[in-house]
Amino acid sequence: MTSNTRICVAGATGLVGSAVLRLALARGHHVHGTLRDATDTARTAPLMALPGAAGRLTLFSADAGEEGAFDAAMHGCDAAAIACFPPLYKAADGTPARALDRRRGYEEIVRPVRDGVLNVLGSARRAGVGSIALCSSTSSTNPPVPLAVKHEATALSDAEAQMADGKFTAAEKIVMETAALDFCVHNDMRLAVLLPTMMLGPVVLPEHMRSHGLALLSGLLEGRRAMHEQVPAGSMSVSHLEDVAALFLATIENPQARGRYFAVFDSLPWAEIYDILARHVPAAGLPAPLDGAPEPPTRFDFTRRDSLGVTMRDIPATIAATVDWLKTRPFPG
């Protein structure tokens, strides 16, 4: 696709959506961005201040819970990046997702995301948008029997098993992916699914500072224990937010790209992550050492990810760049 490509970014004020939007503008694309309320200047002003936005960004109000709500935003677009489905951790009444029974968990956590992605895809189909990049999560890559090495084709969560275990927030992702794939196959639309976890790096809106990665780092810089009292035995997959955005655009710009792609650099034990963080933050905020040996980190086959041609920053470089950016106090006050 050329720089004249028009891309609809569904979820333009989200952590991932805003990063995709920013990079798309930087590459010369025209962008239709959606958010629930395009008259909310507190959220739209940072987007319209991005380089290239004045002449190539149009914002639309759209709610994924309403059929046809994305019709106007999709009109005239060549491709769409769907990043408007962040994890739902609570029901509408505030009940934590894990505390819900099977019926409520499906109806209030899983089904809204499934129906929502079908609403967005329905608008794309009506507008003739044939190329879709969908943001999911590595929470959809956990089969009941763990894999020694995860590959996108075989690392598929079992939604029923996850819901039986009360993991509705995780189940929403594999259900969303399955619904989107079925829709795109039946409507001859090209679908790529991106699978990130913890993302670090410069963000567009102040509200993104509440993401768990940025909250962790900013808290540690202030000498606070932002996430853990003690180093966990497990591991975490990390990527630079700008690299995730580059993977999105790589799938949009490459007409051969379809299917699932890991959007992480790699996974490291938390013990190693905190060792890296200790080079950059005050010791006062660091958690107590791990009592015992760390668990082996998740291992991935990155053949498909690397086929997209995006060079990803390693975890030490990503952490260092994020800390340096945070020290500039990008959102004073």
Q: Is 192 inside a domain boundary?
A: yes
Mean pLDDT computed over every residue of the chain: 96
Q: Is 226 inside a domain boundary?
A: no
Q: Is 97 inside a domain boundary?
A: yes
pLDDT in tens, 193-229: 999 999 999 999 999 999 989 999 999 999 988 789 9
Q: Is 45 inside a domain boundary?
A: yes
Rounded Cα gap, residues 79 and 250, in angstroms: 12
Q: Is 287 inside a domain boundary?
A: no
Q: What is the pLDDT of residue 2?
A: 55
Q: What is the pLDDT of residue 227?
A: 87
CATH number of the domain that residue 257 is part of: 3.40.50.720
pLDDT band at 190 (very low <50, low <70, confident <90, very high): very high
pTM of the model: 0.96
Q: Is 213 inside a domain boundary?
A: no
Residue with tokens 């943001």: 135
Q: Quick one: how far is CA 16 from the chain centroid?
A: 5
pLDDT band at 3 (very low <50, low <70, confident <90, very high): low
What number of CA atoms fall less than 13 Å from residue 34's CA on the CB side?
26
pLDDT in tens, 283-295: 999 999 999 999 9
Q: Is 318 inside a domain boundary?
A: no
- Checking if the pLDDT of 1 tops 60, the result is no
Nearest to 315 by CA among 217, 199, 191, 209: 199
Q: Is 218 inside a domain boundary?
A: no
Classify residue 210 by its DSSP letter: G
> What's the domain range around 155?
6-200+237-264+299-310
Higher pLDDT, 175 or 212: 175
Nearest to 206 by CA among 49, 27, 100: 49
Tally of domains within the chain: 1
Q: What is the pLDDT of residue 226?
A: 76
Determine contact, residues 11/176, Cβ cutoff 8 Å: no
